[in-house]
Amino acid sequence: MTQLSVRHLLGIKNLTENDIHTILDTANQFKEVINRPIKKVPSLRDITIANVFFENSTRTRLSFELAEKRLSADVVNFSASGSSVKKGETLLDTVNNILAMKVDMIVMRHSSPGAPHYLSSRIPANVVNAGDGTHEHPTQALLDAFSMREKLGTLVGKKVAIIGDILHSRVALSNIFCLQKLGAEVMVCGPTTLIPKYIGELGVKIGHNVREALQWCDVANVLRIQLERQQIKYFPSLREYALYFGINRQMLDELDREIVLMHPGPINRGVELSSDAADSQHSIILNQVENGVAVRMAVLYLLAQQ
C-alpha cells in the first residue's frame, strides 16, 4: 500500500489518478477483512476520530463509524442538533474544543460548501469531507467508482450517465471528477432547470431524455430530488418528474443490453426509481452500501499514515 499525495480528503478535485487507484486497491483488501468472521484489524488502534456532523445523515455516518470501529480507532460522535452550536458557538471554536481532547482526525459534514477546506487550513488534525453543501462528497464518488470497477472490471472507456437533480447534488460533482480521472465518459441528464448552467465546461455530455441516456450508458447513477435544498419550484410536481425522468423496470428491460443501476441513497421510490427497478438484477445499490465501509476504511487508514 503506497501513500497518498494529500493530508486531507477534501474533494476528488485534489486527488491524482494514482491517489484514487491507491484508495480503491486498499479498499479491495479491506473488503476481504469485513467479510471475515472476525471483522476487526488493529490498524488505527491508537488513533481517535471525531465524526462532526452539522447535517442529517444515516448511511454516511453509520458507514464512517463502522469503518472506524473495524480499524480499532476510538470514536467520538458529535451532532450539531444537541450541541453548543445552537448557542452561537462558531465552527472553528467547536472543532478546537474537540481537538483539545486530543482527537487525531475529523470527519465532517457541513451545509456550507468549503467548510472542510476552511477547517483543514486552521487545525493540525487530518480532515475528511463527508459532504459539504452542494459542493463535493468524495467518499461517495470513491465507493461508486469502486462498485463500478468491481462490476465492470475497468472504467476506461465506460459510459456513465448521472441522472436526476444535478444542480443540488454534491455526489454529481465528485463523481464527474472521479470518473473522468479513471478514464470514463460522463453524461448528466435531467430537467433543464436542474442542470447547472456551466456544467458542459467540465467536459461532460448533457441530455434531457432519460431513455436516450439509458440507451447510451453502461452505468446509470440515479440521484434523488433534493427538495430540502430547493428554495423555488424547479418542476411542476413530483408526479410529473416521475413521469418524464423516473426509471422503471420496463425501461430497463427494453434496452438492447444490460446496464448497471446505481443510487447513492436515500431512494425516493416511485419518484426517480420505481421499486421494481431498484430491486432488479440491474441494481447494485446494496453493494454500494457494503463497499462504502471498505472504501472509508481505506481512506482513514491511508490518511492516518500521513
> What SS3 class is residue 76?
strand
Q: From the annotation, which residues make up the binding site for carbamoyl phosphate?
A: 59-60, 109, 137, 140, 265-266
Q: Are strands 159-163 and 105-110 parallel, antiparallel or unpaired?
A: unpaired
CA 189 to chain centre: 18
Note the pLDDT tens digit of each residue in 136-166: 999 999 999 999 999 999 999 999 999 999 9
Radius of gyration of the CA atoms of the chain, in A = 19
Numbered ranges of CATH 3.40.50.1370 in the chain:
8-137+289-305, 139-287
**Unique residue bearing C-alpha cell 459534514:** 109
* Residue type, position 65, single letter: E
Note the pLDDT tens digit of each residue in 179-221: 999 999 999 999 999 999 999 999 999 999 999 999 999 999 9
Note the pLDDT tens digit of each residue in 41-68: 999 999 999 999 988 888 899 999 999 9
In this model, does residue 92 exceed pLDDT 60? yes
> What SS3 class is residue 52?
strand
pLDDT at 255: 95
Choice between 299 and 230, residue whose per-residue pLDDT is larger: 299
CA 121 to chain centre: 23
What is the CATH topology of the domain spanning 8-137+289-305? Rossmann fold (3.40.50)
pLDDT at 237: 86
Note whether 9 and 178 are within 8 A (CB): no
Q: From the annotation, which residues make up the binding site for L-aspartate?
A: 87, 170, 224
Q: From the annotation, which residues make up the binding site?
A: 59-60, 87, 109, 137, 140, 170, 224, 265-266
% of the chain at pLDDT higher than 90: 80
* Residue type, position 76, single letter: V
pLDDT band at 83 (very low <50, low <70, confident <90, very high): low
What is the CATH topology of the domain spanning 139-287? Rossmann fold (3.40.50)
